[in-house]
Amino acid sequence: MPFRHPDRSHDLDTRIEHEVRERLEEAIDFVCLDALVRSRQARGLPAPVADNTADRAEYTQHVLGFLRLLDAEVPPPDATCRAGGGDEQARLLAVQVALARALPDYWQRFETLSARYLAEPPPSGGERGGERRGVLARLFGRS
Residue 4 DSSP one-character state: -
Question: What's the rounded Cα separation, in Å, for the pair 21 and 94?
Answer: 8
Q: Which residue has the higher pLDDT, 132 or 77?
A: 77
Question: pLDDT of 50-64, one tens digit each?
Answer: 889 999 999 999 999
Share of the chain above pLDDT 70, in %: 71
Q: Which of the four pLDDT bands, split at 50, 70 and 90, describes residue 83?
A: low
Question: What's the rounded Cα separation, in Å, for the pair 127 and 2?
Answer: 37
Per-domain boundaries in the chain: 13-123
| pLDDT for residue 99 | 94
Q: Whole-model pTM? A: 0.73
Question: What's the rounded Cα separation, in Å, for the pair 31 and 12?
Answer: 29
Q: Say what angle helices 12-42 and 88-102 make with each other, to 10 degrees.
A: 120
- Nearest Cα to Cα of residue 116 among 143, 86, 89: 143
Question: What's the rounded Cα separation, in Å, for the pair 135 and 62?
Answer: 17
Question: pLDDT of 18-40, one tens digit each?
Answer: 999 999 999 999 999 999 999 99
